[in-house]
Structure 1
Amino acid sequence: MILRRKHMTQEASSANPNPEPPYILALDIGTSSTRVLLFDATGNTFPNVLAQRPYQLRITNEGEVSVDPDALVAVVRQTIYDSLEMAGPLAQHIGAVAIDTFWHSLMGVDADNRPLTPLIIWEDTRPHQAALELREQLDEAAIHARTGARLHASYWPAKLRWLATQAPDTFARVAQWLSFGEYLYRHFLGRSVCSLSMASGTGMLQTHARAWDTELVDVLDVRPEQLPPLGDLHESVQGLTAAYASAWPALCNIPWFPATGDGAAACVGSGCASMENWSITIGTSSAIRVVVPLEQVIPPMGLWLYLIDARRAVLGGALSEGGNMLSWLDSILKLPSLADAESLVAALQPDGHGLTVLPFLSGERSLGWHANARMTISGMQAHTSPADLLRAGMES
């Protein structure tokens, strides 16, 4: 795996002359980069405290999409260093650390919290056959009603069944199964809480009971103690390990709140925290979501239901494609930069290219949930241009 690093040297901003403390250091861990921002007590950002470092996933022809968890920890660590350097004396007023990270990731660790597997990302389609087997074995509609998730390659049940089949010795050695947020906190703080938000994205949490699903635990040959302890977003962890306490004294004796799912954070952060406002986000993937009261909603089969916290849920659907498809088109078509290519695309009439694109580079999630679906471009002719293909891809 290759890590691409770009050092940012911005200094702390003076644009807000009287920022109200305490400040919040916010970590955003996506599937292409990590970012750290600083907020004041009123929710305003310090515009010159923005650290970002890109990284690359391991992607293979077999459908693997993963990353070395320790390599990703190193990227996050350096991004925090960058942000504290930018903040300067403002760092002394940081009162808490908050984090969001991608949903659905899975890794196994031993009794000493050392990784036994790579961190498997939601895009990984290798477990699609395991998902089909589970659909034959279990009542998928009942599981979806309990967990808010289908039996699909992106979720933990299919991943666990696939790992038990493909790597039984490793599967047997795993002390606990974690997502990246928990592993990161164990590295920095020595312990972790799995938030209800992150647990709801595994496909193994009974959302209304707010507990791990016992049927899935039994069927997948997972012991209850192999799943991380649950908590809500207010159940913070405090006290860095010795190495980080000396490196980041400003962050040592303050609460680090449990990781929340990036989609949940996107809803709240964009002001779409009620049923009146829906959010559409396009990052590496894309999704449409609405915040709903947990007790009032049973999701239809094509959609999912995850949690923000113990009271609020996020109902929605997602495509595995978004910016990743534009990046793929850009690399394949050898276009100018996307910023320059946008003018070429803007000059074309909507749907004037005669192309139909099914954008399933990483399989389908909502609404059909076919993990082995693949991208198709139909309608290409001799005069089809790269700009036509890019426009069709955007419109898809």
Structure 2
Amino acid sequence: MGPERRVILGVDVGATAVRVAAFAVDGTARHVRTRAYPLLQPLPGWHVQDPDVLVAATLAAVSACVADTAGAEVVALAISSPRYGVIGLDATLSPVTPLLTGRDTRSAEVARDLRVSGQSRELHRVTGTPVHPGSPLCKLIWFARHEPYLCTSTRWWVGLKDYLVHRLTGTLVTELSSASGTGMFDVHRRVWSAGVLDLVGVAGSQLPPVLPTTGVLRLSSAAGQAVGLPSGTPVVVGAGDGPSSSLGMAAIDSTVAGLTLAATGALRTVVAAPLVDPAEIFSCAALTEDAWVVGATANNGGNVVRWAGGALEPDPRPASDDQLVAPELLALAERVAPGSDGLVMLPYLLADRASAVDPGPPGAYLGLRSEHSRGHLVRAAVEAVCLHLGGVRDRLTELTPVSSVRLAGGAFRSPLWRAVMAAVLDCPTQVAGEDDDAALGAAALGLFAIGLAADLTEAVTLLSPASARAEPVAVDPALAATYRCLRAKLPALRTVVGRAGEILDEVAAGPGVGWRATTSSRDVVGG
């Protein structure tokens, strides 16, 4: 990359790794660096990370990407991260808790209480965020119930990106996208909700000021030295990973939904103003002041197929994170007839945020016979995940019209995944051009924020011309008919399995069974 080039860095801090992509402003080059970090599970339902480990990994990935682009001018860094994490900081801005990630479900009882009491509907109406264990609102109520001493010593409650931006710039702020995912922010008035904060027991002064997602800060001298960039380099605070992904997929037309599939799945579309789902399934989060992303995350995504591929026998060879399951297993599944010869899977291995039922039915294979092979088990899992995501699309179209879908994620490199997903959706379907959609979305938002693009669409096209040339996926009419028939039968199957699950829960919770968590979050972070 020659000295005449200008690049922008998109920093996507994911669930288990950070991905930093350097995009040439003219779209002619791209460099990507990643660094992994662990997701810790010290107790059942607890999913936490050390915030400083994530910061160190981010700095290392940025530094490596900067070295790859030696001689180029880095015009800005722009950041994307998950929206549901929570970190407690003391008065010196040091963590007193680990990062409680969006996967952390210790507050499930809090979420149930809010739904049973009827408070969840009004909370969702005000904040645009459904009440679920992953939301910061439920996590903070859990802290107030179980660790009140910790709450009294916590000066700030922040998200992951807030902490990272502070470490990069020396300024503690949040932004509209992350704030709108906390469950405590009034998305209509664009302020922290005093009524919700009273319920949670948090003062407004404990939450950071809210900037636009296009807000620009400056890289500190210490951070600049760590990554090899001049102090003062613009740092665009950016949006959450979901809105960033929609932008990176160029799925920002209100009639287009972006569907991403990795370990989890997500379906989102963009509307002009906050739109609240009366069914309390879909969240609403800002991309910019006048672009809001409505969508839901399905916890049961590619991880279900990975489980199916490995639970009964080790894979022929390990699958990459993008592949989810070894290609040999997908090849076996491709040889199985659509509908898996009567084998049906319900993919609910995890409680699912995209489900209208709480906690929802358990996962199950139904119709299992001796003639069913491992290929059947894998194909049924692929079909189950696609059918589940198709149901999410159906519910989304009840909220706002969606006429086409763009697919993204390493899973859709597989012809099987593409064919099944397109047939289930049975509408115009395309595969987006880039896999690092959240990093691209962050960079595109950054390019717009610093004035090098007139609008978001131009920003994506400048950085990645391939994003405008998505590959159409043909819908097989016979395959679509098969899945329409299967989908019609799924509600009855879910009901039956749900009843069976209730009986099994009673068995599992028999006399003398149970445990009570006593470990403190402070113990986990080492405070």
Q: Does 2:267 correspond to 1:288? A: yes
In structure 1, give the amino acid aligned to 2:14: G
Instruction: Using the TM superposition, give the Cα deviation of residue 322 of structure 1 relative to its aligned residue in structure 2, in angstroms.
Output: 2.0
Q: Partner of 2:416 in structure 1?
A: none
Structure 2 distance, partners of 1:344, 1:75, is 38
Q: Partner of 1:74 in structure 2?
A: 56
Q: Does 2:379 correspond to 1:391? A: yes
Instruction: Using the TM superposition, give the Cα deviation of residue 196 of structure 1 relative to its aligned residue in structure 2, in angstroms.
Output: 0.5
User: Aligned pair in 2 of structure 1 residues 350, 138: CA closer, same or farther (>3 Å)?
Assistant: same
Q: Does 2:349 correspond to 1:361? A: yes
Instruction: Using the TM superposition, give the Cα deviation of residue 251 of structure 1 relative to its aligned residue in structure 2, in angstroms.
Output: 4.6
Q: Partner of 1:9 in structure 2?
A: none
Q: Does 2:192 correspond to 1:196? A: no
Q: Partner of 1:5 in structure 2?
A: none
8 Å CA contact 1:277–1:290 kept in 2: the answer is yes
Q: Helix, strand or coil: the match of 2:355?
A: coil
Structure 2 distance, partners of 1:169, 1:388, is 53
In structure 1, give the amino acid aligned to 2:215: E
User: Aligned pair in 2 of structure 1 residues 82, 299: CA closer, same or farther (>3 Å)?
Assistant: same
User: Aligned pair in 2 of structure 1 residues 376, 315: CA closer, same or farther (>3 Å)?
Assistant: same
Structure 2 distance, partners of 1:200, 1:161, is 18
Q: Helix, strand or coil: the match of 2:342?
A: coil
Q: Helix, strand or coil: the match of 2:340?
A: coil
Q: Partner of 2:37 in structure 1?
A: 55
TM-score normalised according to structure 2 size: 0.67
Q: Does 2:15 correspond to 1:31? A: yes
Q: Partner of 2:402 in structure 1?
A: none
* Residue 214 (structure 2) aligned to one of 209, 218, 234: 234
Instruction: Using the TM superposition, give the Cα deviation of residue 57 of structure 1 relative to its aligned residue in structure 2, in angstroms.
Output: 1.0
Instruction: Using the TM superposition, give the Cα deviation of residue 378 of structure 1 relative to its aligned residue in structure 2, in angstroms.
Output: 3.0
8 Å CA contact 1:353–1:392 kept in 2: the answer is no
In structure 1, give the amino acid aligned to 2:58: V
Deviates more, 1:200-209 or 1:246-255: 246-255
Q: Helix, strand or coil: the match of 1:24?
A: strand
Structure 2 distance, partners of 1:95, 1:132, is 46
Deviates more, 1:99-108 or 1:322-331: 322-331
Structure 2 distance, partners of 1:156, 1:360, is 23
Q: Alignment length, in residue pairs?
A: 374
User: Aligned pair in 2 of structure 1 residues 243, 32: CA closer, same or farther (>3 Å)?
Assistant: same
Structure 1 distance, partners of 2:338, 2:15, is 30
Q: Partner of 1:95 in structure 2?
A: 75
User: Aligned pair in 2 of structure 1 residues 110, 18: CA closer, same or farther (>3 Å)?
Assistant: closer
Instruction: Using the TM superposition, give the Cα deviation of residue 372 of structure 1 relative to its aligned residue in structure 2, in angstroms.
Output: 7.3
Q: Partner of 1:6 in structure 2?
A: none
Q: Helix, strand or coil: the match of 2:329?
A: helix
Summarize the alignment of residues 108-147 of structure 1 with structure 2, pairs less than 5 Å apart. 108-137=88-117, 139-147=119-127
In structure 2, give the amino acid aligned to 1:145: R
Instruction: Using the TM superposition, give the Cα deviation of residue 306 of structure 1 relative to its aligned residue in structure 2, in angstroms.
Output: 1.4
> What are the superposed Cα offsets for residues 253-275 of structure 1, whole Å, 9 maximum, x if unpaired?
12101141111011111111111
Summarize the alignment of residues 309-328 of structure 1 with structure 2, pairs less than 5 Å apart. 309-328=288-307
Q: Does 2:311 correspond to 1:332? A: yes
In structure 1, give the amino acid aligned to 2:39: L
8 Å CA contact 1:152–1:371 kept in 2: the answer is no
* Residue 29 (structure 2) aligned to one of 30, 43, 46: 46
Q: Does 2:276 correspond to 1:298? A: yes
User: Aligned pair in 2 of structure 1 residues 369, 252: CA closer, same or farther (>3 Å)?
Assistant: farther
Gaps of at least 5 residues in structure 1 are 1-13
In structure 2, give the amino acid aligned to 1:368: A
Structure 2 distance, partners of 1:151, 1:104, is 12
Q: Partner of 1:7 in structure 2?
A: none
User: Aligned pair in 2 of structure 1 residues 72, 248: CA closer, same or farther (>3 Å)?
Assistant: closer
Structure 1 distance, partners of 2:12, 2:219, is 21
Q: Partner of 2:248 in structure 1?
A: 269
> What are the superposed Cα offsets for residues 329-355 of structure 1, whole Å, 9 maximum, x if unpaired?
344232223233221121112221533
In structure 2, give the amino acid aligned to 1:293: A
Q: Helix, strand or coil: the match of 1:50?
A: strand
User: Aligned pair in 2 of structure 1 residues 76, 309: CA closer, same or farther (>3 Å)?
Assistant: same
Q: Partner of 2:409 in structure 1?
A: none
Q: Helix, strand or coil: the match of 2:235?
A: coil
In structure 2, give the amino acid aligned to 1:27: V
Q: Helix, strand or coil: the match of 2:18?
A: strand
Instruction: Using the TM superposition, give the Cα deviation of residue 45 of structure 1 relative to its aligned residue in structure 2, in angstroms.
Output: 6.0
8 Å CA contact 2:215–2:238 kept in 1: the answer is no
Q: Helix, strand or coil: the match of 1:188?
A: helix
8 Å CA contact 1:131–1:157 kept in 2: the answer is no
Instruction: Using the TM superposition, give the Cα deviation of residue 218 of structure 1 relative to its aligned residue in structure 2, in angstroms.
Output: 0.1
Q: CA RMSD in A?
A: 2.2
8 Å CA contact 1:185–1:192 kept in 2: the answer is yes
Structure 2 distance, partners of 1:167, 1:319, is 30
User: Aligned pair in 2 of structure 1 residues 130, 185: CA closer, same or farther (>3 Å)?
Assistant: same
8 Å CA contact 2:276–2:283 kept in 1: the answer is no
8 Å CA contact 2:167–2:223 kept in 1: the answer is no
| Bigger Rg over Cα | 2
Structure 1 distance, partners of 2:334, 2:136, is 41
> What are the superposed Cα offsets for residues 90-131 of structure 1, whole Å, 9 maximum, x if unpaired?
2xx111100111121111111111111111111222211011
Structure 2 distance, partners of 1:18, 1:80, is 19
Structure 1 distance, partners of 2:98, 2:265, is 24
Instruction: Using the TM superposition, give the Cα deviation of residue 284 of structure 1 relative to its aligned residue in structure 2, in angstroms.
Output: 2.8
8 Å CA contact 1:125–1:372 kept in 2: the answer is no
In structure 2, give the amino acid aligned to 1:280: L
In structure 2, give the amino acid aligned to 1:36: V
In structure 1, give the amino acid aligned to 2:358: H
Structure 2 distance, partners of 1:64, 1:274, is 37
Structure 1 distance, partners of 2:106, 2:376, is 32
Q: Helix, strand or coil: the match of 2:369?
A: coil
Q: Helix, strand or coil: the match of 1:38?
A: strand
Q: Partner of 1:244 in structure 2?
A: 223
8 Å CA contact 1:365–1:371 kept in 2: the answer is no
Deviates more, 1:330-339 or 1:119-128: 330-339
Where is the helix percentage greater, Structure 1 or Structure 2?
A: 2
